[in-house]
Structures are given as C-alpha cells and as structure tokens.
Chain A
C-alpha cells in the first residue's frame, strides 16, 4: 500500500521521466549574441535546431547535457521552415527518439529547452491544434504545424516538443508565424533535416507561371473523372521557364501535378516541394475543355 502510487503520482513520475529521457538528447545551441537556444541530437553528430537562432555561421558551439561544449558547423539551413542542422566535432552521446505515432489534439505534451547551463527546462501543455499548410516567410511553406499551450520559455526555440513517453513530436520554434509558438512535426522535421544534412538546403520547385484559382464546372469535372471543384488558370507563362519549355500555355487550367490534385496556390506550392525538382513531372491540365497531361521538368527556385 505504501509503495502503491495513485494515478496522479504515476503521471507525475512519467512526466519527470519523459523530461529526463528527452532532456538527455536536448542540447544548448550557442550561435547568437543573446542567451543560447536549444537543439535536438537526432543523428550521430547532427543537431536539429531552429534556423532563426543560428545568427552566425562561424564560432558555433553546442553544449551537451553533460555540460561539455563541442564545436559545431552549419551543415544546412532552411529559413522557410525555420530549421537548421549543425554538425558536431564529435557525436552526441544520446539521440532523441522520434514518436512513431503523430501528435493528436488534446495529447499531453512537454516543451523542453536547454537555454543555458542550469539544466533542462520544461513546461507542460496539450497539443492545442494541428494546422497547415501555412506560408512562412521567404516564399516558404510548411505542410503542417503543431500548436501547443505549453509555455515557450526564452531559448526554447530548436528544442523538442515531446509526448508523455519522452518521444519527440516536433521541434519548437517561435520563428515562424510572427513569434507565435509552433512546433514543426517530427516526421516533417526529420525529413527536412536529412535533406539539409545531405544537400545543405531544401530544394523547392519552380514552374514559372502566374495563376489564379477558378471553379471547374460539373461537366468538366466529369472529364477529369473525379470531383474537383477548382483548378489554377494560367494567366502568365514566364519566358525561358520550365513551364514554357514543357509547353504549358496561358489559358490552361492546372488540375494536378505528379498525380496529386491541385486546386489552389497552396496545393501548387506543396506539389513543387521535394522530389519533383529537376525531374520530368506529369502536369495535368484542362485545355479547351479536354484533359491533357503534359510533361514538365520542374526547375529549382533560387
């Protein structure tokens, strides 16, 4: 009886353990003039952090949970998703565990940070909302974000948002959406981080068109063979652009790219992210009331 814990005590213990576990992979990132920010050890010698806290490219260091400080260089950065990857001189001892199950609204979460040498810091909350896609600064787009009511203490940017088991659900940042505290979902962040570590930047596709959304009449929807109420009418095709080279014309209505329906600018933007860059990609259009598929080699946005 004396050792038996009630549910409240059990939850308290679980949360403290979650902090201990995830905190062992949460580091302090010294790359700006003010107080340090946070980062997550996600792969051998690689640290995932927020891009906006990396204010300089040189003289960067990372303080590990054991208090030792390791030099680091920028391996890659992506201002539009506010993620950066740092490469350590030697590997971090403990890596973060990515949650296998994505975040759910209402789920208990802890925001973690290590904005100094005093140790790990945490705040408790729930996943308040899952949103996206949102446009970020510099023409970027984030497919999905998490919003939480856990307090984002100063220096928490770049740190993990974890579940009650200490698994990472997202990377916290106040650098997107004008200071509001969001988290970039772990699956998305890990994927972007791998690309950053490999290529140094995120490749985003470029077509070279100006467009506006138009509704598609029922008769033409039947031509498409699916219910899709809108498409993007091309009102401009840039000279020497991938669109022109592929043969897209003013007046075409784009309805799909690479097999995915495209009905508004956000979907167009999302369809141009990732693996399509530099690749001949089927662009589905309505041209003169008929459905046509045109192969366009997607360019890279500079």
Chain B
C-alpha cells in the first residue's frame, strides 16, 4: 500500500462507503411522530428495523395520510425520497427486531458481514437519521462484545463508541468495508452505540422465513394485521 495519498485515499474510501450504505438505508415511519431507520436485508423487499420503531403500544394509531381509512400506518421512505407502505412480517421484542415487507422495493440489499468475526477496536460506522437528519453517518470503533440481560433473556450486543441519536434506531452498524455487522438500537444503550449483531438478525430472519405463515397478529402489538388495519 502506498501511503503517500493516505488522506485523499481515506476520504475516497469513506465517501464510497457512505454512498454504499445509504443505498440500502430507509426511513421507517410508524404513523406517529418520529421515525427510525431500516436496512434492506434481502431482495424481495425485506427490511429490518427495531421493534421499538414499529411498536404500537396498543393505542390508536392513525395513518399519516389518511385519518379515516384503514391505510397502513407503517411505511418507509426510500433513498430516492419516494415513499412506500410497509407490512409487519414478524417481530422479536426481546431482540428489539422487526421484519418488514415493502412490496416493489428496488433498493439493493445491504452486504451482510459476519458479526462473529468482528473484533474490538475495528472501525465501524452507524447510518441512520439522528434527529431527523436523513442518511447521517457517524464513525467509531467496536468497544466491546457484551450481553443485554433482562429478567428472562440475554441478548448478545455489540457496543461501540459511535454516538447515536433518536432516528438511528434500526439503522445499520457497518464495518470498514460497508458490511452490516449489526442493527443499532437505542433501547439499552442510551446515546452510546449498542447494536444487535448481524448473526442474531440473520437467525431471526431465517427462522421467520422457514416457518413463514400468513402473518399472524402479534400479541403485544394489537392491530398489526397484514391488511394494514391499525385500528
């Protein structure tokens, strides 16, 4: 490697990485105030986001554009600015993950890295929409591999020193090659970067795809029917 143009080379590598990450990054709206981020994970319009981004808490939820119809309140904004309705395919509150289906989605899926190979100290980037700033990128390193424990469950997490803000939730944590190592979540980490590792996300998705049935209404999220009736 020739280091004479290190700064310029680095600039170029970062810009290319940011551009690549943004092509698979969406804004996820849940019909309420605020929004989260999501990643196009597989072709066919499968988008991963945080459960808490799409959580309805059993309250009345009204579609952004339609107060009186049964329009789906879940939707995404694509990198090109266009909007599309989304359908909740599955959710895993304990993992803070939700799988969405966006029909007709043309965005390419993000390259997925193997989070089990990740190392403390390696450079990572978080992509999302902190404080509403679309497609924002922030940098840091992996700080630790840890577990988020609650009464019953223990979820592996990746901690990083990347600073996150509201709107980063559900967005990707990527490595220096732009491969997704995890999904950022702000439920457990405060403003410090906590991500659900990509191998956990993969396992969640594969489980859903193997046992894929007509979407059943999740018990903790009343009204999440496939017909989009949130009432």
Residues of A within 8 A of B (CB): 5-13, 15-20, 23, 110, 118-124, 150-151, 153
Contact = CB atoms under 8 A, between A and B. Distances in A.
A15 B175 CA distance: 13
A16 B161 contact: no
17 contacts: A6-B9, A8-B13, A8-B14, A9-B176, A11-B10, A12-B123, A12-B176, A13-B122, A15-B122, A16-B122, A18-B121, A118-B147, A122-B142, A122-B144, A124-B141, A124-B161, A151-B161
B203 interface: no
Nearest to B5: A7
A95 to B, nearest CB: 19
Given A5-B1, A6-B13, A11 B143 contact: no
A118 B141 contact: no
A13 to B, nearest CB: 7
B13 A7 contact: yes
A124 B140 contact: yes
B155 interface: no
Contact of B144 (A6, A11, A118): A118
Interface of B: 1, 3, 6, 9-10, 12-14, 17, 119-123, 140-147, 159, 161, 175-177, 192
A7 B14 CA distance: 9
A5 to B, nearest CB: 7
A13 B161 CA distance: 17
Contact of B17 (A5, A8, A118, A123): A8
Given A123-B143, A153-B143, A12 B175 contact: yes
Given A13-B122, A120-B120, A124-B123, 5 more contacts: A6-B13, A7-B13, A8-B17, A20-B121, A151-B192
Contact of A122 (B9, B13, B14, B120): B120
A150 B141 CA distance: 10
Contacts of B119: 16, 19-20
B197 to A, nearest CB: 14
A123 B145 contact: no
Q: How would you classify the secondary structure of chain B's contact residues: helix, strand, loop or mixed?
A: mixed
A11 B141 contact: no
Nearest to A150: B161
Contact of A8 (B120, B121, B123, B143): B123
A7 B121 contact: no
Contacts of B161: 122-124, 150-151
A121 B3 CA distance: 29
Nearest to B7: A7
Q: What 3 A-B pairs come out closest when comparing CB atoms?
A: A19-B121, A12-B176, A12-B123
Nearest to B124: A12
A205 to B, nearest CB: 41
Given A15-B122, A23-B120, A122-B120, A7 B6 contact: yes
A12 B178 CA distance: 12
B15 to A, nearest CB: 10
A207 B12 CA distance: 60
A290 B94 CA distance: 81
B11 to A, nearest CB: 9
B157 to A, nearest CB: 11
A237 B162 CA distance: 56
A12 B179 CA distance: 13
B146 to A, nearest CB: 5
Contact of B141 (A6, A9, A123): A123
B57 to A, nearest CB: 32
B126 to A, nearest CB: 13
A153 B142 CA distance: 13
Contact of A19 (B120, B147, B159): B120
A153 B190 CA distance: 13
A34 B226 CA distance: 49
B47 to A, nearest CB: 26
A8 B141 contact: no
